[in-house]
Structure 1
């Protein structure tokens, strides 16, 4: 075990921090938290890539069609009139983020954030082509050679391919995936879709390949206001200074307590594996993304030294001070209740959402006209919206006035997710009318659901 101590001493002298001239060389690390993070990242990446290709009733299941102003979500078509549902969903997501942050700190950043997922994916490619953190540092400092050009060229080529795939997949949520793919391959996709694919590919390449932690530490607003949601009972990656101090290298056989040393052997592995290059032993810092890499590295060292694990772990400030974490406190309870309340409202609104809509537009050129038969006629355009993913047969009728003559179709087939304009006219004998305005109601139904729209019938007022 003396070899272990020697190896650790060398690391302390030669590689105390993973940052070199502004570049963070992240050391690869294994452990339970990294396995969880990597598994979560691969699952999220797979869902992202597969999402545009899912089909539902013969159509793309997930399509945010901005051109047609409608969203298709697994058989449900959301129109601009339904944006209340989107607002409710965003409120649920916001309170959910507040709740998870008050409970587990920046766990979103470490495990779920797209920036983190893509960055670790790019680093994974970098490690396969350029080697470990020390080898990458040496390669960057080495003069240009065929080996360096091959490794770096291969890395950037794969990064660009991943970026193009990411850009294409993202835009495929807004433009039909098959149509976009064929269009790009045949150079017929159009300027706008091609531009946006290239734009988001470039953003992915720059953010995940070059900027990396800079996005988290300097540009992400979440890192700035997260402290407002933290309290003494928030779980976060933390260093147990009471157990770890005083730091210092030692052999495994040495009596650390007799030397006045804590459990921290100052190997600096916790710093070398940190994607943002911070030292968790300096206390809670806004740069920390709670990925758990430092905890895995420290547990590895503790196992090698024969010490108890958990010197760096997910813990609350109250717990590190010797107290007991309060799981339920006013702030966390309030966030949780608001999240559940908004979720309930969202579910209720979605469950009671009418799968069809009827809008009535009067002829704007004239209020009424007299027919050759001496009848008073009003002209309308009925706009029937089918918000389902199946064609629907709608029957239309009018209520509120007697002895009306209907001129136009009374049945209409509306394709899935489409709007059909139905022009009709209503005529009545003027001797049956009293006054100039007569309220009436148009109704459309498909034997399962009926919707109505109010309008007016105008007459000369004899």
Structure 2
């Protein structure tokens, strides 16, 4: 995919003589590829303040992701999205598809929270807690463990194949596949009980000696699918996911302003850059604090040069800050040549944190969180939907009674099983007969019922309000009323 960019200074002879553009037509048009891989990125290992933050913020999320399917609450996983029964168990709550509004609400809260964080501190989500970043860090650790640091990896890739190279490469990919498989099993463990899932991967030998697998083919397919996707994304694509595939990288620029805190290079202090000796009077030579060591580029996980200015690929991971600070410390220069700051602070020395847009995002997030928690706290343990049967006739006549047919859907959202009864109330006497309905936790049951009224009690009206009340026999406080229409013959 290419985009045409008019460039007036390009002449036909320059285009024809350029190897890169020799196939492009003359006339002042240059073709720029919107996707172009820069080759394999060799990242230098660095330690520092922000690297420690990345470790301590990503590790708890990773541990929580792995352990959550193993935690049990009341005999079931603490978090289980059971698609077969259409029940979604989250800690002590059970949700059904009718509770989809809560999911939509939660996603909206997450989106506005992300907007607020981006306006304040840029793409710190990407640099510190994004799953793509966390898993890439794990894969990079496995790579360094097997192949060594940056210079050793570059040298190893240039070498001809040997036994040592084969062992190191095999060990790296073996660890990658192991991490990917654990990730795939854990993710599917949110939809299938993880103990049942792992048992299904063990071979089952029948009495006739036939060997089979206990897992369902769909379960096995999705487990290996996510294993492969993790292996590809964190092992091979890496920075290309952040640069070309992630939509957040594209619309973040809309939320940035001059007071957004992001990683910046202080060009006024660093330029003109150039190498020098530690005790050399570089200022007399017109040089800035940047010694042009390129460490900020070598540690960058998305392979950009922060000294070129703010770029959409930057994920605000802070690795270039740690790298530059370590170099400044060795040179006995002040730290902060590359730092988290704002464009306004670089120009004026001040950052305006209280801004109308940021205040609006924060207020919206807090208001939605309060409303969400309130709606969750008053959520009823019983849901009832009533539909008048429109497929039948308007009403039926049975002896001296007029009968209307309704379909009642009962959802037991409580954490205990209940037996429900249905009553019909209204301005006239209605009767409804049915057997008690027993429902387990999270179970949904649909039952057709017939509501009848004596012909003698019906007056001249053709429509009457009827209230269908569903009550749990074990707890009379669990009751829901639904108003519908009862149709009679009239005069």
TM-score of the two chains, using structure 2 as the length reference: 0.85
Find 2:465's aligned residue among 432, 439, 443: 439
Report which stretch shifted further, 131-140 or 81-90. 81-90
Matched, 1:307 2:324: no
Matched, 1:198 2:233: no
Q: Which residue is 1:97 aligned to?
A: 114
User: What's the offset of the Cα at 1:26?
Assistant: 0.4
What is the CA–CA distance in structure 1 between the aligned matches of 2:196 and 2:404, rounded to whole Å?
Answer: 44
Unaligned runs of 5+ in 1: 1-18
What is the CA–CA distance in structure 2 between the aligned matches of 1:287 and 1:426, rounded to whole Å?
Answer: 65
Q: Which residue is 1:25 aligned to?
A: 42
Q: Which residue is 2:91 aligned to?
A: 74
Find 1:166's aligned residue among 174, 177, 183: 183
Unaligned runs of 5+ in 2: 1-35, 204-212
What is the CA–CA distance in structure 2 between the aligned matches of 1:239 and 1:77, rounded to whole Å?
Answer: 50
Report which stretch shifted further, 273-282 or 426-435. 426-435
What is the CA–CA distance in structure 2 between the aligned matches of 1:136 and 1:437, rounded to whole Å?
Answer: 82
Q: Which residue is 1:148 aligned to?
A: 165
Find 1:138's aligned residue among 155, 158, 162: 155
Find 1:448's aligned residue among 477, 483, 486: 477
What is the CA–CA distance in structure 2 between the aligned matches of 1:55 and 1:392, rounded to whole Å?
Answer: 23
Find 1:216's aligned residue among 242, 262, 272: 242
What is the CA–CA distance in structure 2 between the aligned matches of 1:21 and 1:103, rounded to whole Å?
Answer: 31
> Residues 352 and 249 (structure 1 numbering): CA distance in 2 closer, same or farther, change over 3 Å?
same
What is the CA–CA distance in structure 2 between the aligned matches of 1:419 and 1:401, rounded to whole Å?
Answer: 30
Tell whether the 8 Å contact from 2:424 to 2:451 is kept in structure 1 after alignment. Answer: no
Q: Which residue is 1:119 aligned to?
A: 136
What is the CA–CA distance in structure 2 between the aligned matches of 1:93 and 1:74, rounded to whole Å?
Answer: 19
Matched, 1:260 2:277: no
Q: Which residue is 1:11 aligned to?
A: none
What is the CA–CA distance in structure 2 between the aligned matches of 1:147 and 1:21, rounded to whole Å?
Answer: 27
What is the CA–CA distance in structure 1 between the aligned matches of 2:310 and 2:78, rounded to whole Å?
Answer: 43
What is the CA–CA distance in structure 1 between the aligned matches of 2:396 and 2:267, rounded to whole Å?
Answer: 88
Report which stretch shifted further, 309-318 or 328-337. 328-337
User: What's the offset of the Cα at 1:194?
Assistant: 1.5
Find 2:342's aligned residue among 298, 316, 337: 316
What is the CA–CA distance in structure 2 between the aligned matches of 1:436 and 1:247, rounded to whole Å?
Answer: 90
Superposed CA offset, 1:91-120 (max 9, x none): 111111111111111111101111111111
Corresponding pairs, count? 442
TM-score of the two chains, using structure 1 as the length reference: 0.90
Q: Secondary structure in 2 aligned to 1:24?
A: coil
Matched, 1:349 2:375: yes
Q: Which residue is 1:241 aligned to?
A: 267
Q: Secondary structure in 2 aligned to 1:258?
A: helix
What is the CA–CA distance in structure 2 between the aligned matches of 1:25 and 1:328, rounded to whole Å?
Answer: 40
What is the CA–CA distance in structure 1 between the aligned matches of 2:156 and 2:252, rounded to whole Å?
Answer: 37
What is the CA–CA distance in structure 2 between the aligned matches of 1:219 and 1:369, rounded to whole Å?
Answer: 61
Tell whether the 8 Å contact from 1:269 to 1:297 is kept in structure 2 after alignment. Answer: yes
User: What's the offset of the Cα at 1:151?
Assistant: 0.8
> Residues 21 and 408 (structure 1 numbering): CA distance in 2 closer, same or farther, change over 3 Å?
closer
Superposed CA offset, 1:100-155 (max 9, x none): 11111111110111111111110011000110011111111111111111111111
Report which stretch shifted further, 165-174 or 137-146. 165-174
Q: Which residue is 1:281 aligned to?
A: 307
Superposed CA offset, 1:379-423 (max 9, x none): 4443221112222343432211444343223x4432111113445
What is the CA–CA distance in structure 2 between the aligned matches of 1:286 and 1:422, rounded to whole Å?
Answer: 56
Tell whether the 8 Å contact from 1:377 to 1:427 is kept in structure 2 after alignment. Answer: yes
User: What's the offset of the Cα at 1:360?
Assistant: 2.6
User: What's the offset of the Cα at 1:20?
Assistant: 11
What is the CA–CA distance in structure 1 between the aligned matches of 2:290 and 2:470, rounded to whole Å?
Answer: 74
Q: Which residue is 1:10 aligned to?
A: none
What is the CA–CA distance in structure 2 between the aligned matches of 1:408 and 1:453, rounded to whole Å?
Answer: 17
Superposed CA offset, 1:236-290 (max 9, x none): 1111111112222222222232332222122111111111111111111111111
What is the CA–CA distance in structure 2 between the aligned matches of 1:249 and 1:92, rounded to whole Å?
Answer: 49
Q: Which residue is 1:400 aligned to?
A: 426
What is the CA–CA distance in structure 1 between the aligned matches of 2:406 and 2:200, rounded to whole Å?
Answer: 41
What is the CA–CA distance in structure 2 between the aligned matches of 1:205 and 1:323, rounded to whole Å?
Answer: 45
Superposed CA offset, 1:199-257 (max 9, x none): 11111111100010011111112111211111111111111111112222222222232
User: What's the offset of the Cα at 1:292?
Assistant: 0.5
What is the CA–CA distance in structure 2 between the aligned matches of 1:231 and 1:71, rounded to whole Å?
Answer: 40
RMSD of Structure 2 on Structure 1 (CA) = 2.2
Superposed CA offset, 1:9-53 (max 9, x none): xxxxxxxxxx99610000111001001101222211111111222
Greater share of residues in helix: 1
Q: Which residue is 1:419 aligned to?
A: 444
Q: Which residue is 1:375 aligned to?
A: 401
The higher-RCO structure (CA 8 Å, 6+ apart) is 1
What is the CA–CA distance in structure 2 between the aligned matches of 1:202 and 1:164, rounded to whole Å?
Answer: 8
Report which stretch shifted further, 245-254 or 101-110. 245-254
Find 2:193's aligned residue among 176, 193, 212: 176
Tell whether the 8 Å contact from 1:367 to 1:458 is kept in structure 2 after alignment. Answer: yes
Superposed CA offset, 1:139-188 (max 9, x none): 11111111111111111111111111111211222223233222233423
Q: Which residue is 1:7 aligned to?
A: none
Q: Secondary structure in 1 aligned to 2:317?
A: coil
Tell whether the 8 Å contact from 1:57 to 1:389 is kept in structure 2 after alignment. Answer: no
User: What's the offset of the Cα at 1:368?
Assistant: 4.2
